[in-house]
Amino acid sequence: MENYSLALLILRPLNRRTSLILLCLFVLASHCRAQDIASLEKIGPAVSFTRNDKGITLNCSDKSQVQLTVLAPDLIRVRAAFTKPLPARDHSWAIARDDWQPTQWSLTETLDAITIVTAEVEAVVHRSPMLIEFRDARTHSTINADEQPMMYDARGTMRKGMFDPDAGVFVAAAKKLGFDEHFYGLGEKAARLDKRRGGFVNWNSDTPGYVEGRDPLYQTVPFYIGLQKGTAYGIFFDNSYRSHFDFGQFSQEHIWFGAEGGEMNYYFFYGPSIKKILGRYADLTGHMPMPPMWALGNQQSRYSYYPDKMVEEVARRYRQEDLPLDVIHIDIHYLNAYRVFTWDPQRFPDPTALMGKLKQQGVKVVTIVDPGIKYQPAAPGAKTEASSRPELGPQEKSYYVYNQGIEKGFFQKRKNGQLFIPRVWPGDSVFVDYTLPEARKWWGDLHRAYTDHGVQGIWNDMNEPADFVDQTGGNQRDVVSFDEGEKTTHAKNRNVFALLEARATYEGLQRLQPNQRPYVITRAGYAGIQRYATMWTGDSNSTWDSLALSIPMFESLGLSGEPFVGSDAGGFIGRDTGEMLTRWYQVAFLTPFCRNHKDVKGYDQEPWRFGKYYEDIIRKYLKLRYELMPFLYTTLDEAHRTGAPIFRPLLLNYQNDENTLDIDDEFMIGDDLLVAPILKPNQTERLVYLPKGTWYDYWTNKKYPGGTMIRVDAPLETVPMFVRGGAIIPLGPSMSYVGEKPFDPISFAIYPDENGLASTTLYEDDGSSPAYQDGAFRRTKIDVKRAGIGYLVSVGAPVGNYNPGRRKFSFVIKADPIARVVTIADEGQARTLEIR
């Protein structure tokens, strides 16, 4: 849209006819991209192949090479080089693991095809034309197949617009489009859950005020899941160049994905369950480490709280209003004239004292850190030797971060050797080349300017990276990164810039505070970002549409390997109403990242801003979040271990129920909670689809049979919420912040299924140190079954070395009109009890 109006503006001085013709051409040009693959050259037939213990390499008639590598029975990598041999170098910033256990596989060869067979997948390479097909090894039915041979841009027809001549050629793969096929994932997209019939571009972009359909946004995760008739597979196209995904926008026969350079390099995952694919994807690109438990606490922000007194005021007000709060975020105005790793001497003269005061109230501080470092050559004669606390000193004549970076040669340069000087908040700025290992170490260590004062987390903004000179990245085109000695340009490195910045930050925090789990939040990212950072969805609008859009966005991110997500509660840009803020919190109170944040010009929207009526409702939900902490934390551990996200679309838990395939105005937390929020004004009832099984209304315990749509009341104080029959929800005491009280008692709310059964496994650890990685956790399995008129509860022997100490467990049966409760002392031993 914007492009067209821009074109009209430019064309205004021309006469109307010429303008129209030009405009038509322009519209055509911007639409032909999706059809363009027709002009691409197809890879030649396979003429020979070699085999080693990991897979096969095929040689094609046009001198191209294709490699299939078996990483696991359900994970096969495909790599192709067009008209030349595969390069020896093979590196990706996204990949976390290359030490795969050798997998059993065999090879069969026929005149027509070469087939790799694992315990789960048959990868068939048809020789001529060369078409790759994946089949289920048990049923031999096709899961996913090339519709055309892999392609490359031999004639240069894709070389337009931003195309970087250094990038190589456009590469693409086209796959058959199933008549009933659905597509999920693809990271952060302002789009509905099912991506079928959509077309998308990946190019990390600063997109304030985005609405549905805006593309690309901040992040790039070139991974999607295809689902047809209950069977799922995944494809991770690991290519950091600007990439394109077309899920049947123009063709009834194929979908395609491609990139403006780099290699054809993708990983094929076979389910058939989506959860299994997500587990493998996490094995490949990294499991999210456990963040500190307080990351699940309530957080408050605005652009910007200053001076220090106002930050204290926010904390005080939260306590006064009896609203739980764990974290306050401090935005760019704390900096000394936007210089990162400094403090404004007037606004924040004594950060240590501020952090100390907040800590007494259980409040942690997260500071924003942008990648733009003020371009500031030291004034002549200025003293440059660093004091031990350079972040507090004056910076006007000499800025220690710039001085150090220049001296070490860590800043990005253009191809001609000149320093690259983008314009961001500090004005003229420089960016770090995070592909340099020493530069990452330096950047990480700079964070002592925060941790020394008690800052607990880092918020990485603007890391697409945004450049006010040209937000499309045009100004950065000839910027060269070290890239492991390969010295590549922006076309390859833009999309991984934030990944590497977050990595540098995360690793720095690990070194600075080895006994604490790092907490990093990022706006941009690439596949694998979950290893280093949690994320939020950037500059959303304070509109009902934006609230509604956030649900498929969180769900899709969860299906793309990013389990810790959230948006600015209340929306970032624009003006809230009490009603909208309340409804927003009815989603936010269950999103992993729960932070209210507001634009610099925006009308204030802290929970109390619209009066007591709304505030009372918001308080109820924030308190419930804290009571649900044992449940949320158990779900967080599941995400860490298995890759299954916290915030899920229904289809992840019910992929064989075709009614769930398109539902993205409801969501689930873990396996057990289903929420159907209100996403429109003046609405006090809604339809809710409940998947097959038994469901309990969370508020009334009323039982519903699933597999159908029900109508429920939803007055402003109530968000429709259901618990799966068969679930046990562990709850803790009400708290103002994580750690205020021990989890004592833990109360297990039991919701038996049709057969009177229910179970859960509670996860616990110290909530803050990395000791959980060495076995310092505890898992306690609880099983409940109906026995006559009562229930038998068995508490399993705890597993793991973490000892939470003696506390009480209480068990509440929710199936009956009169709640039955039994409380026992938990002494860390197996036992069985009866509830009558």
Q: How many CB atoms lie within 10 A of CB 352?
A: 13
Nearest distance, CB of residue 5 and ligand MIG, angstroms = 22
331 binds ligand MIG (CB under 6 A): yes
**One residue of 539, 562, 637, 664 binding ligand MIG per CB under 6 A:** 539
Quick one: 40 or 502, whose CB is closer to ligand MIG? 502
Is 665 a residue that touches ligand MIG (CB under 6 A)? no
How far is residue 383's CA from residue 590's CA, in Å, rounded to a whole number? 51
| Residue linked to tokens 């390069």 | 87
Alpha carbons 799 and 796: distance in angstroms, whole number:
9
Any catalytic annotation for residue 428? no
- Give the active site residue among 122, 331, 539, 664: 539
Least separation, in Å, of the C-beta of 565 and ligand MIG?
15
Give whole-number Cα distances, 26 to 4, 13, 403, 489, in Å: 8, 17, 46, 28
Contact by Cβ (8 Å): 119, 70: no
- By CB under 6 A, what part of segment 462-521 binds ligand MIG? 462
Q: Considering the complex, what minimum distance in angstroms separates the CB of residue 154 from ligand MIG?
A: 41
Cβ distance to ligand MIG smaller for residue 468 or 699: 468
Q: Do 767 and 739 contact (CB within 8 A), yes or no? A: yes
Closest CA to 499 of 820, 285, 688: 285
> Based on CB atoms, which residue is closest to ligand MIG, 171 or 462?
462
What is d(CA 24, CA 291) in angstroms, rounded to the nearest whole number?
51
215 binds ligand MIG, rule: CB under 6 A? no
Least CB distance from residue 333 to ligand MIG, whole Å? 9
Q: Are 734 and 677 in contact (CB under 8 A)?
A: no
Judged by CB under 6 A, the number of residues near ligand MIG is 10
Using CB under 6 A as the binding rule, whether residue 340 contacts ligand MIG is answered as no
In the set 464, 467, 599, 657, the catalytic residue is: 464
**Residue 137 DSSP SS3:** coil
Sign of the Cα torsion 291, 293, 297, 303 reads negative
Residues between 519 and 538 with contacts to ligand MIG, criterion CB under 6 A: 523, 538
Torsion sign, CA atoms 734, 740, 741, 742? positive
Under the binding rule (CB under 6 A), the answer on residue 334 touching ligand MIG is: no
Query: Which of residues 370 and 657 has its CB atom nearest to ligand MIG in the complex?
Result: 370
- Rule CB under 6 A: say whether 56 interacts with ligand MIG: no
Residue 434, helix vs strand vs coil = coil
Cα 424 to Cα 138, 216, 336, 427, 490: the distances in Å are 56, 20, 15, 5, 18
Which residues from 344-383 bind ligand MIG, rule CB under 6 A?
Answer: 368
Q: Is 163 in the site for ligand MIG (CB under 6 A)?
A: no
CB of 358 to ligand MIG, least distance (A): 20
- Asked if 826 interacts with ligand MIG (CB under 6 A), we say no
**End-to-end Cα spacing for the chain:** 65
Residue 606 binding ligand MIG, by CB under 6 A: no
For residues 549 and 721, which CB has a smaller minimum distance to ligand MIG in the complex?
Answer: 549
Tokens encoding 602: 């925006």
Rg of the chain in Å (alpha carbons):
27
Cβ at position 71, least distance to ligand MIG in Å: 37
> Is 317 or 333 the residue whose CB approaches ligand MIG more closely?
333
Structure tokens at 253: 């026969």
The total of other beta-carbon atoms located within 10 Å of residue 775's CB is 12
Q: Which is nearer to ligand MIG, 540 or 582 (CB)?
A: 540
Cα–Cα distance measured from residue 217 to residue 205, given in angstroms and rounded to the nearest whole number? 5
d(CA 159, CA 161): 7
Please report how close the Cβ of residue 243 comes to ligand MIG at its closest, in angstroms: 23
Return the ∠ at Cα 472 (arms to 467 and 474), rounded to 5°.
Answer: 85
Quick one: 270 or 584, whose CB is closer to ligand MIG?
584
- Return the number of the residue (144 or 476) whose C-beta is nearest ligand MIG: 476
CB of 329 to ligand MIG, least distance (A): 8
Minimum gap (Å) between residue 125 Cβ and ligand MIG: 46
Cα distances from 88 to residues 84, 491, 782, in angstroms, run 12, 21, 52
Strand partners of residue 270: 233
Length of the chain: 836
How far is it, in rounded angstroms, from Cα 591 to Cα 647?
Answer: 6
Of the two residues 597 and 778, which places its CB atom closer to ligand MIG in the complex? 597
The answer to whether the beta carbons of residues 544 and 581 sit under 8 Å apart is no
Cβ count within 10 A of residue 170: 26
Nearer of residues 334 and 482 to ligand MIG, judged by Cβ: 334
Task: Tell me, residue by residue from 278 to 317, as one string, x for binding to ligand MIG by CB under 6 A and - for no binding.
Answer: -------------------------x--------------
Query: For 146, which DSSP code?
Result: B
Of the residues 246, 461, 568, 638, only one is catalytic, namely 461
In the complex, least distance from residue 306 CB atom to ligand MIG, rounded to whole angstroms = 12
Q: Using DSSP, how many helices (H) and how many strands (E) does the chain show? A: 14, 51
How far is the C-alpha of 147 from the C-alpha of 395, rounded, in Å?
60
- Is there a contact between 175 and 144 (Cβ–Cβ < 8 Å)? yes
Catalytic annotation present for 464: yes
Q: Is 627 in the site for ligand MIG (CB under 6 A)?
A: no
Which two three-digit tokens encode residue 416?
Answer: 């001609």
When the beta carbons of 463 and 481 are compared against ligand MIG, the nearer one is 463
Q: Which residue is nearest to ligand MIG (CB)?
A: 303
Interface with ligand MIG includes 420 (CB under 6 A)?
no
DSSP string, 683-741: --EEEEEE-SSEEEETTT--EEESSEEEEEE--TT---EEEETTEEEEE----SSTTSS
Q: Rounded to the nearest whole angstrom, what is the least distance from the CB of residue 597 to ligand MIG in the complex?
A: 6
Site for ligand MIG contains 461 (CB under 6 A): yes
What letter would DSSP give residue 312? H
539 is catalytic: yes
In whole angstroms, the minimum distance from the beta carbon of 572 to ligand MIG comes to: 6
Write out the residues near ligand MIG by the rule CB under 6 A: 303, 331-332, 368, 461-462, 523, 538-539, 597
| Residues taking part in catalysis | 461, 464, 539
